[in-house]
Amino acid sequence: MTSPTLSIGEAVASLLRDGLPVRLEAYDGSSAGPPDADITLELVSERGLSYLLTAPGDLGMARAYVSGDLRVHGVHPGDPYDAMRLLQSHLRFRAPSPGEALTLVRGLVSGVGLGVLKPPPPPPQEHLPRWRRTVEGLRHSLSRDAEVIAHHYDVSNAFYELVLGPSMAYTCAVYPDADATLEQAQAEKFDLVCRKLGLRPGQRLLDVGCGWGGMVRHAARHYGVQALGVTLSREQASYAKEAIDRDGLGDLAEVRHSDYRDVLEGDFDAISSIGLTEHIGVKQYPAYFGFLRDRLRPRGRLLNHCITRHDNRPRETGAFIDRYVFPDGELTGSGTIITAAQDAGLEVVHEENLRHHYALTLRDWCRNLVGSWDAAVAEVGEGTARVWGLYMAGSRLAFERNEIQLHQVLAVRTDEDGRDGFPLRPSW
């Protein structure tokens, strides 16, 4: 018995529990959802449908969206937050039986053709799948870490300036109040780290994963410390060196294009790690915290600032983030990070969750991308710009929903007598 022919709109509608919260319009002329919806999803080509069918879930959606085969009307591509919030809150799929699923596929193929079941090549912005990266190098080896960091951070300094603003800080800002600007909040973040580390003139600071040198320059300029930063991104190191020279901080600040594991100096008074731990790998935490502890003098402090999960259960990163944003990135809960620091011989004296601040940071980055969209597309292409809008808006939702968090963990290497050099109450 032949299956009834189905349009794309009919197929989608049959899989939903409560109907579509948005309008869907497909290239075969079919549609679904309320005609007066504020947001419309337009599936413009057979390739887009192939992406959705051959890579179900967030990866297929991302491929169709990044390639331009799935367009979202009613929101700006630099900030699809409203569409993503609506879909996450109200889109409910039901699980068809195996027999029903087969009938559905047959009916759809009968309507649009067998070609939709052939996987198209992924968009050029997509990184290799995890198994192919493993073939080409051990996860979190020096060479593989350098390659995946370059994939994300060596996009274009000009593009990052458009998104991040003058601070060139690509980590969670700290908003002193609700009306603070992004630049004020980034300055407050760097200053909070300096205050927690108790920096004073003449001390030595190591900033691992230093990015474009924001922390190094802030600590040198405002606290008079000798600051060394290291980054695996050649583009970041080049930018940071120019900024240090421009600011006249060459006698205090230095940035190297280097893996943090290649730092030979020791006896630092303080170490800051702002946004690096996400790239380390959970299995590498013992070596990571052990290495940093060994670089501290007795009573030297470590501030670890990183994205965390809301629990400590192990799980893989989602396909979209792993393929398009942070290849090999890993997240875990703050409890795992604190445990690893303690097991490495560090005393953890304070921790703080700043997840609401990261949601605000991502909101402001999206605003910057929207405001400079034409320049961003001219710099990196529309596909890459779409990746960033999608990733930042989705991350904002995840922080708001407490799916991920941002923790600062402050630790110290105590001396032989157990003294840590901290006052009885926090000074920051």
Question: Which CATH number fits the domain that encloses residue 38?
Answer: 3.30.1050
| Cα R_g (the chain), whole angstroms | 24
Q: How does DSSP assign 344-382, residue by residue?
A: TTPEEEEEEE-HHHHHHHHHHHHHHHHHTHHHHHHHH-H
For residue 155, pLDDT over 80 is answered with no
Whole-angstrom Cα distance, residue 392 to residue 413? 36
Residue 2's contacts (CB-CB under 8 Å, 6 or more residues apart) are: 110
pLDDT interval class at 220 (50, 70, 90): very high
Residue 138 lies in a domain: no
Residue 129 lies in a domain: no
Q: Give the position of tokens 């990070």.
A: 337
Residue 325 lies in a domain: yes
The Cβ of residue 37 has, within 10 Å, a number of other Cβ atoms equal to 16
Read off the pLDDT of residues 269-315 as tens digits, 9 standing for 90 and up: 999 999 999 999 999 999 999 999 999 999 999 999 999 999 999 98
For the chain, give the percent of residues with pLDDT over 90.
79
Asked if residue 181 and residue 107 are part of one domain, the reply reads no
Asked if residue 147 and residue 107 are part of one domain, the reply reads no
- Residue 130: the pLDDT is 66
Asked if residue 154 and residue 99 are part of one domain, the reply reads no
Asked if residue 156 and residue 220 are part of one domain, the reply reads yes
Residue 234 lies in a domain: yes
Residue 426 lies in a domain: no
Asked if residue 327 and residue 250 are part of one domain, the reply reads yes
Q: What are phi and psi of 302, to 5 degrees?
A: -125, 130
For residue 152, pLDDT over 80 is answered with no
Both tokens of 140, joined, read 């979190």
Asked if residue 158 and residue 106 are part of one domain, the reply reads no
Read off the pLDDT of residues 113-123 as tens digits, 9 standing for 90 and up: 888 899 999 99
- Residue 104: the pLDDT is 85
- Residue 141: the pLDDT is 58
The model's pTM: 0.92
- Residue 151: the pLDDT is 47
For residue 143, pLDDT over 70 is answered with no
- Residue 103: the pLDDT is 86
- Residue 133: the pLDDT is 52
Average pLDDT over residues 69-98: 92
Residue 59 lies in a domain: yes
Asked if residue 357 and residue 296 are part of one domain, the reply reads yes
- Residue 134: the pLDDT is 57
The CATH number of the domain holding residue 314 is: 3.40.50.150
Residue 128 lies in a domain: no
Asked if residue 238 and residue 89 are part of one domain, the reply reads no
Asked if residue 165 and residue 51 are part of one domain, the reply reads no
Average pLDDT over residues 57-82: 96
Whole-angstrom Cα distance, residue 18 to residue 387? 29
- Residue 1: the pLDDT is 47
For residue 94, pLDDT over 90 is answered with no
409 bridge partner residues? 304, 351
Average pLDDT over residues 352-379: 98
**What integer best gives the mean pLDDT of the chain?**
92
pLDDT interval class at 242 (50, 70, 90): very high
For residue 85, pLDDT over 90 is answered with yes
- Residue 317: the pLDDT is 86
Residue 425 lies in a domain: no
Average pLDDT over residues 98-109: 86
The DSSP letter of residue 283 is G
Asked if residue 37 and residue 152 are part of one domain, the reply reads no
- Residue 89: the pLDDT is 87
Q: In terms of Cα–Cα distance, which of 162, 148, 223 is closest to 191? A: 223
pLDDT interval class at 344 (50, 70, 90): very high
Asked if residue 156 and residue 42 are part of one domain, the reply reads no
Asked if residue 256 and residue 176 are part of one domain, the reply reads yes
For the ranges 90-94, 132-136, 207-211, 358-362, the lowest mean pLDDT is seen at: 132-136
- Residue 142: the pLDDT is 60
Pairing of strands 404-412, 204-208: unpaired
Cβ–Cβ < 8 Å for 409, 341: yes
Domain span at residue 339 reads: 143-412
- Residue 351: the pLDDT is 98
Q: How many domains does the chain have?
A: 2
- Residue 127: the pLDDT is 87
207 bridge partner residues? 229, 272
Q: Give the position of tokens 């959606």.
A: 61
Both tokens of 130, joined, read 């995890």
For residue 183, pLDDT over 80 is answered with yes
- Residue 102: the pLDDT is 86
